[in-house]
Amino acid sequence: MSVAGMPMSRKEVLATSMSALGKLPPTMQQLLSLINDPKVSPKDIAKIVSYDPSLAYQVLKAVNCAFYGIPREITNITQAVVLLGLTNVRNLCLGLSMSMKLAQRIPESKSFKLVDFWRHSLATAIASKIIANQVGESREVANNAFLGGLLHDIGKLVLYRVFTNEYAELVEESLAGDRDLLELELQFCEQSHADVGGNFVVSWGMDSSFVSCIVNHHQIPSSPQYESLCKIVKLGNKLANLYGFNCFANSVSSNIRDAEELRARVFEKADELKIDTNLIETDIRTKVISEVKQAESFVEAMILAAKKSK
C-alpha cells in the first residue's frame, strides 16, 4: 500500500491495521460498563452475552472445561454467571474476544506459539491477583490486576498479527542474542509491544487503569495514578517468567546469568511492594504454579476460539 507512490512506513501499516481491527465488540463494551454496577443480575449479563451467539457458544464450551471444576454440565449462560461470578465471565469473554479477533488466520512460528502466549498471560494474571491479595488490595483492584495481567502483552499478539514473519524474526533475534526485544521493536516500528498494546486497548475503549498497566509493564509510570496496580502487574509478569511460564517457546532461561538477573529483579520489585521475598520461592510459587495448571483449559479455550474463527 502506498500514498502517492510512497510506500507506507511500518508505523503507518500498524496504525492502518489497528483501525481495521475495529472496536471492542458491543457485547464486551456493555459487559465492561456493567462490571462495577452492584445492581446488575446474572440474568442481565446472560442476556448481553447471548446477543453474540458465537461468543455465547465459546463461553459455554470454555466453562464446561475442567478449569472451572464444575462437576455438572452448564447449559446456559445464566448458570455460568451464577457459578463462576461476573468477573470470571467478563475475563473469559474478553480473552475469547481478543483471541477471535487477533489470532484468527495467523500461522504459528518456531518462537511465537499461541499456547505459550496465553499461558504466559494467564500466569501473569494469576500471579498479579495473588500479589494484589498479598499486599491487602481491595477485591476490585485484585480483579483489575488479573485482567491487566491477562492483557499486558496483547501488543505482541497485535504485532505478530500485523507483521507475522518479520515479528517472528525479531523475537528470534532477541532470543538468540543480547538485544532486548523492546529495543528491537522500537527500531522496527517506532513502538514497543507495550505501546502497541496500550493503543489497541484504547481503541477498544477500555478503562485507563488497564491502559496504564499495559503501557507501563516494562517502565516506570509517568503518572502516579494506578501506580500500585502497575507495580503489581509488573511483578506478576516477572514472576510468570521466573516460574517458567515464558511468552516465547525458546525463552526458558537456561543461561544462569539471565536467571540470576531475573531473580534479582523479581526481589527488587517484591521489595518495592513490601512483600516478604521468602514467599516468592515458597507459598506464592506453589500457588501460581498450581492455579496455572488448573487453568490449562482456559488456554485451550483461547486457542479453540482462534481456530473457530478461521
Which residues contact Fe ion (rule: CB under 5 A)?
Answer: 153, 237
Cα(135)–Cα(222) distance, rounded to whole angstroms? Answer: 23
Nearer to Fe ion, 45 or 171 (CB): 171
Minimum CB distance to Fe ion, residue 182 (Å): 8
* Cβ proximity to Fe ion, 52 vs 153, nearer residue: 153
CB 217 within 8 A of CB 192: no
3 bridge partner residues:
6
Nearest to Fe ion of 68, 188 (CB atom): 188
Least distance to Fe ion, CB of residue 156, Å: 7
Q: For residue 217, which of 275, 159, 295, 145 has the smallest C-alpha distance? A: 145
For helices 114-134 and 86-102, the axis angle rounded to 10 degrees is 150
Given the complex with Fe ion, which of 216 and 237 has the nearer CB atom? Answer: 237
Q: Which amino acid is at 132?
A: A
The smaller minimum CB distance to Fe ion, of residues 226 and 245, is found at 245
Q: How far is the CB of 63 from Fe ion (least distance, A)?
A: 26
Closest separation between CB of residue 218 and Fe ion, Å?
Answer: 6
- What b/e string do you get for 228-260 counting C-beta neighbours within 10 Å, with b at 16 or more? ebbbbbbbbbbbbbbbebbbbbebebeeeeeee
Closest approach, Cβ 155 to Fe ion, in A, equals 8
The nearer residue to Fe ion, 49 or 154, going by C-beta atoms, is: 154
Backbone angles phi and psi of 6, in degrees to 5? -90, 125
Minimum distance between the CB of residue 148 and Fe ion, rounded to whole angstroms? 11
**CB 149 → Fe ion: shortest distance, Å?**
9
* Nearer CB in complex with Fe ion: 88/237: 237
Q: How far is the CB of 193 from Fe ion (least distance, A)?
A: 6
Q: Which is nearer to Fe ion, 49 or 239 (CB)?
A: 239
- Separation between Cα atoms, residue 150 and residue 40, nearest integer Å: 24
